[in-house]
């Protein structure tokens, strides 16, 4: 009998991710953006003037995906870039404040929900997931 239902890192992480993604998509609906786009805005709130490479590394997205998402956000007037040598550095535009406020509210709602549902195991679990992500990141 297969035990992957509960023991396989891929299957259990993917199953968990699908559930978290469903919940997060619903919570972030008021932003009018998919959560990944909102998270880029939130990242730029913390780290203004960031490069595509830095955003991709820190958030764990593919560089091409970050580039596509930043282009989308730029087309909507939510981010702008400046050139520094050969690099593009992105930061929030003045038009982003309303969406950013909503995204912060959504993030707070998600935290409250996951704190309530996952309890004190949440901190341990997210720490382990983060640690294991960086361990496996060497296999790229």
Domain ranges of the chain: 4-117
Q: How many CB atoms lie within 10 A of CB 42?
A: 18
Of all residues in the chain, what percent carry a pLDDT higher than 70?
99
Smallest CA-to-CA distance from 77 within 32, 18, 132, 139 is with 32
How would residue 5 be classed by pLDDT, with cut points 50, 70 and 90? confident
How would residue 133 be classed by pLDDT, with cut points 50, 70 and 90? confident
Q: Give dist(CA 34, CA 69) in Å, integer.
A: 10
pLDDT of residue 1: 76
Give 33-90 pLDDT, tens digit per residue.
Answer: 999 999 999 999 999 999 999 999 999 999 999 999 999 999 999 999 999 888 899 9
Is residue 32 within 8 Å of residue 26, measured between CB atoms?
no
Q: What fold, for 4-117?
A: Arc Repressor Mutant, subunit A (1.10.10)
* Sheet of 79-84, strand order: 50-51, 87-92, 79-84
Give 84-94 pLDDT, tens digit per residue.
Answer: 888 899 999 99
């Amino acid at each position: 009998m297969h035990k992957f239902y509960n023991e396989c890192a891929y299957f259990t992480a993917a199953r968990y991710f699908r559930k978290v993604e469903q919940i997060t998509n619903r919570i972030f609906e008021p932003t009018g953006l998919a959560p990944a786009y909102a998270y880029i805005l939130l990242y730029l709130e913390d780290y203004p003037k960031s490069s595509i490479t830095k955003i991709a590394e820190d958030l764990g997205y593919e560089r091409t995906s970050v580039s596509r998402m930043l282009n989308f956000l730029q087309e909507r007037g939510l981010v702008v870039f400046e050139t520094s040598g050969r690099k593009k550095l992105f930061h929030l535009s003045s038009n982003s404040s309303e969406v950013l406020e909503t995204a912060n509210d959504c993030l707070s709602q998600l935290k409250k929900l996951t704190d309530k549902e996952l309890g004190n195991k949440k901190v341990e679990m997210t720490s382990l997931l983060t640690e294991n992500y960086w361990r496996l990141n060497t296999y790229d």
